[in-house]
Amino acid sequence: MRTLAQDVPNQLDREIEISGWVHRIRELGQVNFVLLRDRSGMVQLVFNEKIDYTPETVLTVKGLVKANDKAPGGAEVHPTSVTVLSRADQNLPVQVNQDPDKYPLDVLFDNRAVSLRMPKLRAIFQLQSSLLKYLSQFMHAEGFFEMKTTKLVGTGAEGGTGLFSVDYFENKVYLAQSPQLYKQAMISTGMERVFEISHAYRAEKHDTPRHINEYVSFDVEMAFIDSEKDLMEFEARLLDYVFTQVGKNDKALLDLWGATVPAPGAMLKAPVVGHDEAKDIISKAVGKKVFEINPEGERALSDWALANNGVDLVFINDWPRKKRAWYSYPSPDGTKTLAFDLIFRGLEITSGGRRINDYAMLQDALPKFGLTEEGLGFYPSIFRYGCPPHGGFAIGVERLTQKILGLVNVKEASPFPRDRKRIAP
């Protein structure tokens, strides 16, 4: 019966069995130490003989637990038997017990199966697991249906650019940029409230710390809303739940990165500013008139929200129509849209809004964006047979992870990132 490292201090003076990886070896001569790592933490093993295990070798150890104030958790194990389950080659591509900052990102990515053993890097994906859990917990509790829609599509939600093509038997199809069209189809089937957590693909050539070509998209769509305000209110409650749970249950992971999450309730105080107002705030902050909200502007706006509302989260709504997707629901005068973004710590992590749900309005919109009904496949039929007012939003899971932990590059939040040049491991 295996004991986990974190539980060893509760087993003082008992014989236990533990298993894990040799994290660090310290040989003093008369007494030698091995720090053994498992999924729960570290435990110190004390040997009188010389250590002949290479770092990262996997051991199962039986031994007696003794109190020792200097050992992690105040206890250590004096082995009575050691079984080598898997011996590690001594030429490790990266030293697992070193700080990942010592290595360039590319080296960490090239040797992912070893670099992810570094507790600090592993923590990124332990946190991401928690995010996936809390996001879906909240959605199911709110009565949303979880769906898995096809990623092999005939056309792109954004109109055909930036798509990866797939050889599909005798046909050519594309990897979905988002489940946009399908989630709208699903709410129109009467499910009314759906969400999906799946991969999405963007064949964009730029290589920046905020872009990744394959990412995980958390998508929400809900029917019978009036405007984007219902969506912002819902997202605020969702993220407040997620931040609260992370703060409560995942503090050890945050601590490894010196990170914190917005306090419970803080998310509910995130200000909402219109696109014009946002540009004014940014112009004032950067000391010159801006005409676009670029990454620098997103950071300035986030700083403004922190200074004014005590929270580095800010919604932007009232977007000009020409800056949003063709399916965005226009304002009464047709110049703006019922769309919004959410900026978190200087980075856009969400885009959303009410969608066009009226067939005639869609027919009117398509030519404005250079699109035809025929080019959109089944999509227009959603609106011909009764489709309620609806809208939704998407959160990039890697971006959310990145901003919570303060990662410099979004690729760090993908276990096996894909960019223009990286297709392995």
Smaller CB distance to its own copies: residue 59 or 305? 59
Smaller CB distance to its own copies: residue 257 or 283? 257
Smaller CB distance to its own copies: residue 114 or 268? 114
Tokens of 241: 């739940």
**Number of other residues whose CB lies within 10 A of the CB of residue 216:** 21
19 binds its own copies (CB under 8 A): yes
Q: Angle at Cα 348 formed by Cα 343 and Cα 350, nearest 5°?
A: 90
For residue 12, the minimal CB distance to its own copies (Å) is 24
For residue 226, the minimal CB distance to its own copies (Å) is 11
For residue 191, the minimal CB distance to its own copies (Å) is 6
82 binds its own copies (CB under 8 A): no
**Number of other residues whose CB lies within 10 A of the CB of residue 349:** 25
389 binds its own copies (CB under 8 A): yes
Smaller CB distance to its own copies: residue 205 or 368? 205
Burial of 68 (0-12, 13-18, 19+ CB in 10 A): middle
Please report, as residue ranges, which positions from 210 to 239 form the binding site for its own copies (by CB under 8 A).
214, 216, 224
For its own copies, the binding residue among 180, 244, 245, 357 (CB under 8 A) is 357
Smaller CB distance to its own copies: residue 13 or 374? 374
80 binds its own copies (CB under 8 A): no
Q: Would you give the binding string for its own copies spanning residues 188-207, x where CB under 8 A is met? A: xxxxxx---xxx---x-x--
For its own copies, the binding residue among 63, 75, 122, 240 (CB under 8 A) is 122
Provide CB contacts within 8 A for 167, sequence distance 6+: none
For its own copies, the binding residue among 88, 105, 268, 272 (CB under 8 A) is 88
For its own copies, the binding residue among 14, 26, 39, 248 (CB under 8 A) is 39
For its own copies, the binding residue among 12, 31, 107, 152 (CB under 8 A) is 152
- Give me the helix-helix angle, 295-309 and 275-286, nearest 10°: 90
- What single string gives the DSSP state of each residue in 298-362? HHHHHHHHHHHHS-SEEEEE--BGGGS-TTBPBPTTSSBBSEEEEEETTEEEEEEEEB---HHHH
Task: Tell whether the torsion through CA atoms of 373, 377, 379 and 384 is positive or negative.
Answer: positive
Smaller CB distance to its own copies: residue 143 or 287? 143
20 binds its own copies (CB under 8 A): yes
| Contact between residue 140 and residue 133 where contact means Cβ atoms under 8 Å apart | no
Smaller CB distance to its own copies: residue 148 or 323? 148
62 binds its own copies (CB under 8 A): no
For residue 95, the minimal CB distance to its own copies (Å) is 11
* CA 183 – CA 199 distance, rounded (Å): 14
| Contact between residue 289 and residue 249 where contact means Cβ atoms under 8 Å apart | no
Greatest extent of the chain over all pairs of C-alpha atoms, in Å: 85
Smaller CB distance to its own copies: residue 21 or 315? 21
Pairing of strands 272-274, 313-317: parallel
Specify the residue for token string 């389950």: 85
Sheet hosting strand 145-146, strand order edge to edge:
145-146, 193-201, 214-223, 390-396, 347-354, 339-344, 313-317, 272-274
**Number of other residues whose CB lies within 10 A of the CB of residue 298:** 22
321 binds its own copies (CB under 8 A): no
Please report, as residue ranges, which positions from 267 to 306 form the binding site for its own copies (by CB under 8 A).
none
Smaller CB distance to its own copies: residue 320 or 378? 378
Smaller CB distance to its own copies: residue 216 or 305? 216
For residue 346, the minimal CB distance to its own copies (Å) is 24
Please report, as residue ranges, which positions from 127 to 146 form the binding site for its own copies (by CB under 8 A).
128-129, 132-133, 136, 140, 143, 145-146
**Alpha helices by DSSP H, 116-219:** 119-141, 180-186
